Every structure is written in structure tokens, then in C-alpha cells.
């Protein structure tokens, strides 16, 4: 018999979302009358928009004709027209088309990128963080050489991001030559780093030989014009950062699957090899390009009509977030000293229940309101006492959830 990869033994028990699903199902089984509403998982709910959906349908139809058929793309990095359009429409020319690598999604790229750095790299993550950074690091052996405790893995540097530091971490805890995962707008906190903060991050990375993996999956939700939508707006970022993004959240492509990574030419390993060279080698080995239908959708999404549609779609979710925020600022929450964080630039609200445990609040909200949320502790030790409310939902469901939350006994 073959031994299993020992790296997998080091994963902390259970991924967050299966545990939420388990508790939801157990509750539903015990209370069949409860009409449960989910403000939990960050999955999109609204239909694809017309210009984008039509482009994909037309493309798919074309595939059934001799003239419209295509097989593998010429390049695993994506259709040249889409790479051009991402560079020009979303990066305003700061990034060149040959620095854009189209993918089947941001999560998949996070997983693949970790292979470039192997098992010996030091890792630093924002705490709380999207679980893939930590679990993926454990799977490639870069972390988890000792089992996780309540405080996390000993060989990962957790950078607490709390209201007390305006959700921007103390970078002095990061070891030289680390991979730094940084997500802005942040999932789960909804915080967006300012230009000054990102400049600090970039300066730190350059000075200390670090590479930043910048996850900007929610950049399309930024409404404050002064906030940076990409790390490449920051001086020096091309020498120390790569960026991962996706059509999942702005265009509702969570099921369609399309994303991209920006790997700048100037980004190098210690020996001077361009990171891009290894990245090309890796995707040409493991990845045969994103679906051509999805890429047709991405091209349409970057047409003026598509950009307008994505704006409306993200506006819709931001309006949901504003409704939930209002409910969470109601009398019952205020009297209990509940703190609500959310500046209107992300589809999440991050809410602190002082003195309470996240999972206890999760159970209480499920029990009293029949609303599923996400316990902050599942995103890292600094998430304890917080709950994440997601604004991905149909409007009637969100409104009903808000009415129920007004009656939560705190």
C-alpha cells in the first residue's frame, strides 16, 4: 500500500465551510419548519447579466459549427485579445498584456502559485484570512511541520488585523524572505488598504526580500476613488508583488470559472530568474488554459456594456450590505455594544460581539433568526468574537434576514 502525502496529516481538522454546512443541516433536521436564510458562504446569487450571458451563449453555439470551432488555445496564458483587454481596461496600461495570465479562477491560481515557492519558504498571512492561503501552504509543505493549535500553525506568521490597528498589520513580525499573502478589499473583514498602507507594505517587502501575493478578488466593489484597486498603483510593486483576481465576484462567474494573475516581468527570485519564467513553465505543464466559452464571457465583460453590467451587479450586492449594516446597527445590537465594520467597499460586514465566541454567536443567530453566518474564528485566531455577514443573496431574503436580526436577543 502507498503512504499518503504526510503534508495532509498536518491540516487542521475540517475546512470551515463544511462545518457550517453540517451545523446548518443538523439544525434544519431538528427544526423542519425553519426557513433558513444564508448570509454565510461568499457565493454569488444573481443571474449573469445579458450582454455577458449572450456573448457566451453565442460563442458556445459557434463551437457547434466548423467555422466557430476551436480546441486548445495557442497559449495556456489565455486568448491574446483577453490578455490585452484586461491590461488596458482594468490596469489602464500600467500592466502589459504579456504580464496577464488568464486562469480558471483565483483560488486555483493561489494553489498553483504556491508550487513556485516550494516547502522551504516562510509564510505570513493576514489574520483573519481566506483559508486557502494557510491550507495550501500546509499542503505544499511550507507550513504545518508541527500541528496547528488554537493559535494557528507555529511556522506561519499571523499578522493580526483588528479594529485596534485599523485592520492593517504590524509588518515587523514578518521574517525576511517571506511570502506575504495580502487580500484587499479583505475577505472576511471588508477592510480596504489605503495607498499609504500599501506603500508601506511594498517598501517593507522590497527591503526584506519578500514577495507579496496580492488577492484583489473584490477590487470591483471599491467605490471610494482614493482607494487603490490594484497593488500595481503603488510605486515599486512590480519588483515585489504578483496579483490574483477573478471575474467570480464582479460578474457572477463563480460557476463559469474565469480569473487572472498578474506576474510582472520585473518580479524575480533570489538568483535573478524571473518568476514569470517559472509561472509559464508551470501553467504550460499543468493547465491547458481557461474554458474558451468563459474567455468569451470575459471579453464581453470588459466591453463598455459589460463594465456597466458588472457595476450594476456589484452595486446590488453593496446595497444588500448597506441594508444588513443598518439592521446590525439597530437598537438590540447597539445596546449590547456590538461593533459593525464595513465602509461600503466590499460585500462583507465584519461584526464584533465583545466577550462572545464566534461559534456560539453563529449557533445563536441560526437558532433565533434562522440565519446562517460565518464564524470569524474560522478565518484565523484574530477572528474570534467576530461574525462575517455576506451580502450575496436575493433582495427579499436579505430583507427578511434583516427583519429577523432586529429581534435577536443580545
Ligand X SMILES: *Cc1c(COP(=O)(O)O)cnc(C)c1O
Judge contact between 179 and 123, C-beta under 8 A: yes
| Separation between Cα atoms, residue 301 and residue 308, nearest integer Å | 9
No. of H helices and E strands in the chain?
14, 13
Cell numbers linked to 405 = 436580526
Nearer to ligand X, 230 or 246 (CB): 246
| Separation between Cα atoms, residue 123 and residue 275, nearest integer Å | 17
Cell numbers linked to 24 = 446548518
Pairing of strands 348-352, 339-341: antiparallel
Q: Is 42 in the site for ligand X (CB under 6 A)?
A: yes
Nearer to ligand X, 183 or 338 (CB): 183
CA atoms within 13 A on the CB side of 200: 11
Q: Which residue of 107, 325, 352, 388 would you call a contact of ligand X, by CB under 6 A?
A: 107
Q: Which residue of 105, 144, 250, 375 would you call a contact of ligand X, by CB under 6 A?
A: 105
Q: What are phi and psi of 244, to 5 degrees?
A: -120, 135
Judge contact between 350 and 189, C-beta under 8 A: yes
Residue 344 CB burial class (10 angstroms; 0-12, 13-18, ≥19): middle
Q: Which residue of 130, 153, 167, 362 would you call a contact of ligand X, by CB under 6 A?
A: 130
Minimum CB–partner distance for residue 140 and ligand X (Å): 18
Minimum CB–partner distance for residue 131 and ligand X (Å): 9
Nearer to ligand X, 80 or 111 (CB): 111
Q: Is 217 in the site for ligand X (CB under 6 A)?
A: yes
Minimum CB–partner distance for residue 15 and ligand X (Å): 14
Nearer to ligand X, 113 or 369 (CB): 113
Q: Is 40 in the site for ligand X (CB under 6 A)?
A: no
Minimum CB–partner distance for residue 142 and ligand X (Å): 19
Minimum CB–partner distance for residue 240 and ligand X (Å): 20
Nearer to ligand X, 52 or 108 (CB): 108
Minimum CB–partner distance for residue 87 and ligand X (Å): 19
| Separation between Cα atoms, residue 281 and residue 283, nearest integer Å | 6
Interacting positions 226-285 with ligand X (CB under 6 A): 246, 248-249, 254, 259
How many chain residues bind ligand X (CB under 6 A)?
15
Minimum CB–partner distance for residue 309 and ligand X (Å): 18
Maximum pairwise Cα distance, the chain: 67
Residue with cell 427579499: 396
SS3 205: helix
Minimum CB–partner distance for residue 256 and ligand X (Å): 9
How many angstroms separate the Cα of 363 from the Cα of each of 134, 325, 326, 370? 25, 20, 22, 9
Pick from 398, 393, 405, 400: nearest CA to 44: 393
How many angstroms separate the Cα of 84 from the Cα of each of 22, 28, 275, 343? 44, 48, 20, 32
Q: Which residue of 183, 234, 240, 346 would you call a contact of ligand X, by CB under 6 A?
A: 183
Nearer to ligand X, 131 or 369 (CB): 131
Nearer to ligand X, 140 or 338 (CB): 140
Nearer to ligand X, 296 or 408 (CB): 296
Minimum CB–partner distance for residue 54 and ligand X (Å): 22
Q: Which residue of 20, 56, 106, 198 would you call a contact of ligand X, by CB under 6 A?
A: 106
Minimum CB–partner distance for residue 162 and ligand X (Å): 18
Q: Which residue is nearest to ligand X (CB)?
A: 105
The 3-state DSSP composition of the chain as helix, strand, coil percent (nearest 5) reads 45, 15, 40
Judge contact between 143 and 134, C-beta under 8 A: yes
Q: Which stretch binds ligand X (CB under 6 A): 105-113, 268-276, 335-343, 388-396?
A: 105-113
| Separation between Cα atoms, residue 257 and residue 291, nearest integer Å | 8
What mask of x and - would describe binding to ligand X in positions 308 to 347, judged by CB under 6 A?
----------------------------------------
Residues that bind ligand X (CB under 6 A): 42, 105-108, 130, 183, 187, 215, 217, 246, 248-249, 254, 259
Amino acid at each position: 500500500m502507498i503512504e499518503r502525502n504526510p503534508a495532509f496529516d498536518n491540516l487542521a481538522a475540517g475546512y470551515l465551510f463544511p462545518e457550517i454546512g453540517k451545523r446548518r443541516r443538523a439544525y434544519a433536521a431538528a427544526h423542519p419548519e425553519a426557513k433558513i436564510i444564508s448570509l454565510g458562504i461568499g457565493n454569488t446569487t444573481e443571474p449573469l447579466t445579458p450582454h455577458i450571458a449572450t456573448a457566451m451563449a453565442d460563442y458556445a453555439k459557434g463551437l457547434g459549427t466548423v467555422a466557430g470551432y476551436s480546441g486548445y488555445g495557442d497559449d495556456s496564458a489565455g486568448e491574446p485579445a483577453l490578455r490585452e483587454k484586461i491590461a488596458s481596461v482594468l490596469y489602464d496600461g500600467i500592466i502589459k498584456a504579456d504580464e496577464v495570465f488568464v486562469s480558471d479562477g483565483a483560488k486555483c491560481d493561489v494553489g498553483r502559485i504556491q508550487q513556485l515557492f516550494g516547502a522551504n519558504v516562510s509564510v505570513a498571512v493576514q489574520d483573519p484570512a481566506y483559508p486557502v492561503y494557510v491550507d495550501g501552504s500546509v499542503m505544499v509543505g511550507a507550513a504545518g511541520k508541527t500541528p496547528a493549535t488554537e493559535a494557528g500553525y507555529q511556522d506561519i506568521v499571523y499578522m493580526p488585523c483588528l479594529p485596534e490597528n485599523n485592520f492593517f498589520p504590524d509588518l515587523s513580525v514578518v521574517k525576511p524572505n517571506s511570502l506575504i499573502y495580502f487580500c484587499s478589499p479583505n475577505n472576511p473583514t471588508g477592510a480596504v488598504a489605503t495607498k499609504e498602507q500599501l506603500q508601506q507594505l511594498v517598501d517593507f517587502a522590497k527591503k526584506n526580500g519578500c514577495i507579496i501575493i496580492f488577492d484583489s478578488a473584490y477590487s470591483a466593489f471599491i467605490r471610494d476613488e482614493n482607494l487603490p484597486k490594484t497593488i500595481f498603483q503603488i510605486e515599486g510593486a512590480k519588483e515585489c508583488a504578483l496579483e490574483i483576481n477573478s471575474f467570480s465576484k464582479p460578474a457572477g462567474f463563480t460557476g463559469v470559472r474565469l480569473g487572472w494573475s498578474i506576474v510582472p516581468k520585473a518580479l524575480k527570485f533570489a538568483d535573478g530568474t524571473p518568476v514569470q519564467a517559472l509561472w509559464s513553465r508551470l501553467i504550460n505543464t499543468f493547465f491547458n488554459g481557461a474554458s474558451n466559452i468563459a474567455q468569451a464571457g470575459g471579453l464581453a465583460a470588459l466591453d463598455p456594456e459589460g463594465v456597466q453590467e458588472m457595476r450594476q451587479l456589484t452595486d446590488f450586492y453593496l446595497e444588500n450590505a448597506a441594508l444588513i449594516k443598518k439592521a446590525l446597527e439597530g437598537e438590540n445590537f447597539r445596546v449590547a455594544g456590538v461593533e459593525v465594520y464595513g465602509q461600503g467597499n466590499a460585500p462583507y460586514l465584519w461584526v464584533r460581539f465583545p466577550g462572545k465566541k464566534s461559534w456560539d454567536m453563529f449557533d445563536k443567530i441560526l437558532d433565533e433568526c434562522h440565519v446562517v453566518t460565518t464564524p470569524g474564528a474560522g478565518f484565523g485566531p484574530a477572528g474570534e468574537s467576530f461574525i462575517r455577514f455576506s451580502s450575496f443573496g436575493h433582495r427579499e431574503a436579505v430583507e427578511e434576514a434583516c427583519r429577523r436580526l432586529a429581534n435577536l436577543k443580545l
